[in-house]
Structure 1
Amino acid sequence: MKCFNFYFGEKKEEPKTPRPNSFPPSFTDRESRQSGSEFNSQNASDTSTESRGRNHFPDMSESNLKVFTFTELKQVTKNFSRTAKLGEGGFGCVFKGMIKSSEDPAKKIDVAIKQLGKRGLQGHKEWVTEVNVLGVVEHTNLVKLIGYCAEDDERGIQRLLIYEYMPNGSVEDHLSIRSLTPLTWDTRLRIALDAARGLTYLHEEMDFQIIFRDFKSSNILLDENWNAKLSDFGLARLGPPDGLTHVSTAVVGTMGYAAPEYIQSGRLTSKSDVWSYGVFLYELITGRRPLDRNRPRSEQKLLEWVKPHLSDARKFQHILDPRLDKKQILKSAHKLSLIANRCLARLPKTRPKMSQVLEMVDRVVEGSSNSEPLLKSKELSETDVKVTDGSWIGRVWPSKLVQT
């Protein structure tokens, strides 16, 4: 297929995991989401810094993606029947199917097939971005894209993506109060670690940087062993080239997760993903969504609701997910909240890199029970936290939590 454009950017001085003939994708400059939980801004600049000096590579011959025909996908989904339907999202419908394994043709494997809905040019751009990203990156904590379909038939243009099947759904599914299988605390810690690994890989472990831009619990899927993998890269962007501090772009994403400086200015950096990760940690701690209009007005915005409870341990335990043993997880949850506070620092430059976040989360998962603070005392003295809509700027004193 010859519709994918690639950007041949300047490599960092010491590339960590380059892949032969694999180049970072060229991402579109204009994006917007239309659902009620998502937003876009007409005020932000649509001029992307990475568009300068772009070169085009017309095919993906070096990728391992398989090209499927629409007829093949109709057969494995029983003509996209309702019985094969797994769900529906902003992109379109997702169906379960079974295909022959490329490694062992005698064996069949389950796959998830995502079919682009009738969203016009914008949906196609996100589809292209998804293929471009997952066609050139590979990591244990990124969902594997097996192949794609792009052809026309009597019903028009068909755009589909074929992924490895993730039988345990999304983290959001299991954090929901309606879930029959709420996640244990140990599982939540492992998910936090897996998600941090995935973001660290995208930000720091390749010879180019990818900013996820839509990190949230519904985009973190769980395999049969409850390992977490990042999914849905339709809004991902290439990070700024060397010498530039950010990418200027239209503001898109999901309310409750987006970093305040990105909302206000459209300036996108990897620290925007770090903010979203901090919100996600509080989601794991509380079992609540970042924005929930079904709760009382004072509890609808997660960061506003947790703020008064962060001053001491007795208050802190009231925000813990009631489905968990509060006494058993209190110390560990305290430590995780300290990491969240670091990620939610008001100034982007004071937020840690994801590799630093990964190291801190790893220490929590290892179950360190000594009395030493998780972070250095100087770092613990004060953390600025600012809610996404700018309604408050509060001081959080996490050192009090460590001392309990």
Structure 2
Amino acid sequence: MGICLGKPSKLANASSSQFLDAKTEPGSTKQDQTSSDSANRPLQELKPDQSISSNLRSFNFNDLKTATKNFRPDSLLGEGGFGHVFKGWIDERTLSPSKPGSGMVVAVKKLKTESFQGHREWLAEVNYLGQLHHANLVKLIGYCSEADNRLLVYEFMPRGSLENHLFRKGVQLMSWATRMRIAVDVAQGLSFLHSLDTNVIYRDMKASNILLDSDFTAKLSDFGLARDGPIGDRTHVSTRIIGTQGYAAPEYIATGHLTPKSDVYSFGVVLLELLSGKRAMGDENVGGADETLVDWAMPFLSDSRRVMRIMDTRLGGQYSKKGAQTAAAVALLCLHTDPKKRPAMPEVLTSLEEVLAPNKDNPKSPLQAKPENNVTGKFPQKNVRAISQLR
């Protein structure tokens, strides 16, 4: 359900194909097993949490038809597995629909009416983004739940997805500094989610879900697969296995056990994409459709003398060698097969900030510095309600 805000293009490709194993994991909690119960409930019984949705604008369907020129093809921004994303215009003050070309530009995601799974992900997005606010999370403005119509209205991200900028032909090449700024932005967003009183596991970290504004500020989008993390004495949450090939952590694929360290692994893959300019899966320059970017890069990452072999040749060597080695070392730690040995996201953030703005008077090795409080934003003490019933 990623929002692709570049030129119209299908999101189903080698780097965004999803896999699903609907088997119930032995030992799963009551919270997890309610997901199968909700699958049999009619759509009208699955509604946004009232206290959360009151923070959002509730649009009617006709308003969004007007805002998007009746969902005409020339308004189409992108297409995903559960629906389409259209460009629209609303009045910045009243949030009422306005004439095309006037007012505030927004992105309107319209789900396919026949998709129940799409509705569950729509509901998760409303409930999470209706309560989570951070500079590196895409802003949800409102939603529509009218008859069988399910829509979401987001801030418009004019530069589209990171996936487009890294892999689409004809798009201007991003500099080393821009790539590292994006890595820091994404690390800030994940650090925020993981540091909440009830931590949130993003679960769908990939290049197509990272959107860029006009200044290339990166924001996480698409919270349809997000989950509350483990609390108390629990070490993980057990879920059905769903994710994106090439990005999902190996222990999650094997067991369905989900932790914040699952996000850390996926972040490591995205960082590797930023360094190499190669897709997580199916890149012809990596080794074919069956070899992942991680498999290809690991021999180089584990040998500092060969790290430069992974770097994007399109950069023409225009990057800091020391910075590249540091970023590669961070990626290697994030991709550790043992989740307990992966760093926490605030630690990752601290090291990447050193790459972006190195302190020559006080050099620090990757992940050896004491994590600083780089997390901003507020989150209510109460948990996100209604979400625990989704998965």
Verify the 8 A CA contact 1:317 1:326 in the aligned structure 2: no
In structure 2, the CA distance between the partners of 1:354 and 1:376, relative to structure 1 (3 Å rule), is closer
In structure 2, the CA distance between the partners of 1:368 and 1:127, relative to structure 1 (3 Å rule), is same
Q: Does 1:38 align with 2:18?
A: yes
- Write out aligned runs for 1:108-187 (5 A): 108-152=103-147, 157-176=148-167, 178-187=169-178
In structure 2, the CA distance between the partners of 1:52 and 1:319, relative to structure 1 (3 Å rule), is closer
Name the TM-score, length of structure 1 as normaliser.
Answer: 0.77
2:65 counterpart (64, 70, 74): 74
Verify the 8 A CA contact 2:302 2:332 in the aligned structure 1: no
- Write out aligned runs for 1:291-306 (5 A): 291-292=281-282, 294-295=284-285, 297=287, 300-306=291-297
| Separation in 2, partners of 1:127, 1:277 | 23
Structure 2 counterpart of 1:175, one-letter code: L
In structure 2, the CA distance between the partners of 1:333 and 1:253, relative to structure 1 (3 Å rule), is same
Verify the 8 A CA contact 1:49 1:247 in the aligned structure 2: no
> How far apart are residue 377 of structure 1 and its match?
7.9
In structure 2, the CA distance between the partners of 1:61 and 1:353, relative to structure 1 (3 Å rule), is closer
Structure 2 counterpart of 1:115, one-letter code: K
> How far apart are residue 61 of structure 1 and its match?
5.8
- Which stretch shifts more, 125-134 or 368-377? 368-377
Structure 2 counterpart of 1:292, one-letter code: G
Verify the 8 A CA contact 1:50 1:240 in the aligned structure 2: no
Verify the 8 A CA contact 1:116 1:159 in the aligned structure 2: yes
Q: Does 1:353 align with 2:344?
A: yes
| Separation in 1, partners of 2:91, 2:368 | 55
> How far apart are residue 298 of structure 1 and its match?
5.8
- Which stretch shifts more, 174-183 or 99-108? 99-108
Unaligned runs of 5+ in 2: 1-11, 35-46, 370-391
2:242 counterpart (252, 257, 261): 252
Structure 2 counterpart of 1:38, one-letter code: Q
The equivalent of 1:332 in structure 2 is 323
Aligned residues: 341
What do the CA deviations read for 1:167-202 (whole angstroms, capped 9, x no partner)? 000001000051421211111111000001100111
In structure 2, the CA distance between the partners of 1:296 and 1:57, relative to structure 1 (3 Å rule), is closer
The equivalent of 2:233 in structure 1 is 243
Verify the 8 A CA contact 1:50 1:241 in the aligned structure 2: no
Percent same amino acid at aligned positions? 45
What do the CA deviations read for 1:182-228 (whole angstroms, capped 9, x no partner)? 21111111100000110011110x22111110001110000111100
> How far apart are residue 367 of structure 1 and its match?
2.6
Verify the 8 A CA contact 1:192 1:281 in the aligned structure 2: yes
Q: Secondary structure at the match of 2:320?
A: helix
| Separation in 1, partners of 2:325, 2:89 | 44
Q: Secondary structure at the match of 1:161?
A: strand
The equivalent of 2:379 in structure 1 is none
| Separation in 2, partners of 1:93, 1:248 | 30
Unaligned runs of 5+ in 1: 1-33, 379-404
In structure 2, the CA distance between the partners of 1:57 and 1:332, relative to structure 1 (3 Å rule), is closer
Structure 2 counterpart of 1:127, one-letter code: W
> How far apart are residue 315 of structure 1 and its match?
2.7
The equivalent of 2:375 in structure 1 is none
